[in-house]
């Protein structure tokens, strides 16, 4: 059931929750501050009042000590003191040790005057009797009677000042309580605006429409970093989708040719009766097209199994030198028929990887080298380990016609063919050989690069990371021709 509240008022939104949390925290802090302010103000006011009363009582004690035994003069001095502080609500009382009042000011409350002396073991004491607060000093000198002096005041004035202060602070607290939700909502809106932008852009994204990007506000905060990260991800996704769409289009284009040829041949075969020899020729052409389709399907399956996001095959050890020798031996017969010499210079190198996949890589590279090298040429395969750089190098160099500079940037693109006419019926996968090599090498954490030029031959260099503790000879290894593949 949909909530009757609008989205901006729903407590399920991040903006509303931030506002509620901010308001609750500010209100709790305000209440705690008011309570602390009341305690501090009460303590400070009463401490200051006690200090003043204590100072007044000390003056009375000094006058008694100076004027004793002239009690009339002492009382006159006390009366003068009481009148001078009458506007402050002070009262003064002079008592004997037995609690007999010798003198008290006119404003001395009866409740205080009748209150007997207590805590006689202490020299001074602060007491609270109802709304009255007083300081008592005990005067005891050798050879003289013991007296008690009380100097007090009404606490109503202190309470009134405390009440006035708390009213002012409460008004400020109420203002904060009213402003906090508004300010908190504004701050939450500003803080969550990038998140709202992210949601809006994400809502507009479609698999076929990935052109929108999140706005970057330049604040360099976590949300800006999130926007940049998502934009990079969208760039990668868009690039991946574009490449996949191009791949599907290219694959459909490559499949269309053999299928059209097969259909045409079958239509010709069934158009009218033919001799057995003609049927055999037509079926041979159909078989050739089927072989081309099979090669293309296998290449597409290999690309699907060696995606760029796959991890290096785990649990396998690859003896690269052994793979090189085995694969070169497989191509020795083809090379000998074409008058091409294959040489192998393979240092022992062990690294994690799939031997079957690297046989496919080396097979594609040797096939390209043999096909584009004229009779009398050479194809050299070299494997070496650079322990200092923690890498292994696989190099395939031929002495063929080379590649024009305009093609080098695209030779790893799927279905890209330098000479389309030469790859139509040669049983190859239609421009997928080098892309398959690149996918396999990158899956193993390596890189592949091609250096070539017209008339200078082609050199393909594969760089692979070594595993810890692998074995390898120095890079300057001695070349040795493959015995079974001389021209």
Whether 255 and 367 map to the same domain: the answer is no
Q: Domain end: 304, 331, 356, which one?
A: 304
pLDDT at 365: 86
Q: Domain end: 116, 139, 162, which one?
A: 162
Whether 357 and 440 map to the same domain: the answer is yes
Question: How many CB atoms neighbour CB 178 within 10 A?
Answer: 10
Residue 180 domain flag: no
User: pLDDT tens digits for 123-163?
Assistant: 458 888 888 888 888 887 777 788 888 888 888 888 888 88
Residue 215 domain flag: no
- Give the domain range for residue 127: 15-162
Residue 34 domain flag: yes
**CA torsion through residues 31, 32, 35, 41, sign:** negative
Residue 157 domain flag: yes
Whether 261 and 126 map to the same domain: the answer is no
Residue 330 domain flag: yes
C-alpha distances (whole Å) from 208 to each of 10, 198, 237, 243, 438 are: 33, 19, 11, 12, 27
Whether 226 and 354 map to the same domain: the answer is no
- Paired with 150 in beta bridges are 93, 136
User: pLDDT tens digits for 56-65?
Assistant: 888 888 887 7
Residue 177 domain flag: no
pLDDT at 423: 46
- Give the chain's domain count: 3
CATH code assigned at 56: 3.30.450.20
Residue 204 domain flag: no
Whether 232 and 254 map to the same domain: the answer is yes
Whether 341 and 426 map to the same domain: the answer is yes
pLDDT at 36: 92
With a cut of 50, list the residues of the chain below it in pLDDT: 1-9, 120-121, 123, 308-310, 420-427, 468-487
pLDDT at 40: 92
pLDDT at 140: 79
Whether 283 and 400 map to the same domain: the answer is no
Q: Domain end: 250, 270, 304, which one?
A: 304
Whether 267 and 315 map to the same domain: the answer is no
Q: Which residue in 147, 61, 150 sits closest to 108, CA to CA? A: 150
Residue 412 domain flag: yes
Phi (first) and psi of residue 345, to 5 degrees:
-125, 90
Parallel, antiparallel or unpaired: strands 378-386 and 341-346: parallel
CATH code assigned at 261: 1.10.287.130
Whether 315 and 298 map to the same domain: the answer is no
């Amino acid at each position: 059931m949909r909530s009757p509240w609008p989205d901006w008022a729903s407590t399920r939104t991040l903006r509303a929750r931030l506002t509620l949390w901010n308001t609750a925290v500010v209100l709790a802090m305000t209440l705690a501050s008011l309570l602390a302010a009341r305690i501090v103000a009460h303590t400070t006011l009463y401490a200051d009042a006690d200090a003043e009363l204590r100072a007044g009582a000390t003056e009375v004690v000094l006058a008694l000590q100076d004027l004793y035994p002239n009690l009339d003069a002492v009382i006159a001095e006390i009366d003068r003191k009481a009148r001078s502080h009458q506007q402050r609500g002070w009262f003064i009382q002079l008592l004997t040790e037995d609690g007999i009042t010798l003198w008290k000011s006119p404003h001395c409350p009866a409740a205080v005057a009748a209150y007997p002396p207590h805590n006689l073991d202490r020299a001074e004491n602060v007491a609270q009797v109802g709304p009255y607060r007083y300081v008592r000093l005990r005067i005891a000198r050798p050879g003289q009677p013991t007296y008690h002096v009380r100097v007090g005041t009404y606490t109503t004035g202190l309470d009134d000042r405390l009440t006035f202060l708390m009213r002012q602070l409460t008004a400020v607290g109420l203002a904060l309580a009213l402003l906090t939700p508004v300010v908190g909502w504004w701050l939450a809106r500003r803080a969550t605006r990038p998140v709202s932008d992210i949601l809006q852009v994400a809502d507009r994204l479609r698999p076929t429409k990935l052109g929108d990007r999140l706005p970057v506000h330049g604040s360099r905060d976590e949300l800006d970093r999130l926007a940049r990260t998502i934009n990079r991800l969208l760039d990668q996704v868009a690039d991946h989708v574009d490449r996949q769409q191009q791949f599907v289009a290219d694959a459909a284009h490559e499949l269309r040719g053999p299928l059209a040829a097969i259909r045409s041949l079958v239509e010709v075969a069934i158009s009218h009766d033919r001799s057995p020899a003609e049927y055999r020729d037509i079926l041979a052409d159909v078989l050739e097209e089927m072989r081309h389709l099979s090669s293309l399907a296998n290449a597409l399956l290999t690309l699907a199994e060696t995606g760029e996001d796959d991890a290096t095959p785990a649990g396998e050890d690859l003896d690269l030198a052994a793979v090189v020798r085995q694969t070169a031996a497989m191509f020795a017969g083809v090379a000998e028929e074409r008058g091409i010499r294959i040489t192998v210079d393979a240092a022992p190198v062990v690294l994690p990887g799939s031997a079957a996949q690297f046989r496919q890589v080396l097979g594609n590279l040797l096939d390209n080298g043999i096909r584009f090298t004229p009779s009398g040429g050479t194809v050299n395969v070299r494997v070496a380990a650079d322990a200092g750089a923690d890498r292994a190098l696989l190099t395939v160099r031929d002495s063929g016609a080379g590649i024009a500079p305009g093609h080098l940037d695209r030779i790893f693109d799927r279905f890209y063919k330098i000479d389309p006419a030469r790859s139509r019926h040669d049983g190859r996968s239609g421009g997928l050989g080098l892309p398959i090599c690149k996918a396999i090498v990158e899956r193993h954490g390596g890189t592949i690069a091609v250096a070539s030029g017209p008339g200078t031959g082609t050199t393909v260099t594969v760089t692979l990371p070594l595993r810890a503790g692998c074995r390898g000879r120095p890079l300057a290894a001695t070349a040795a021709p493959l015995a079974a593949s001389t021209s």
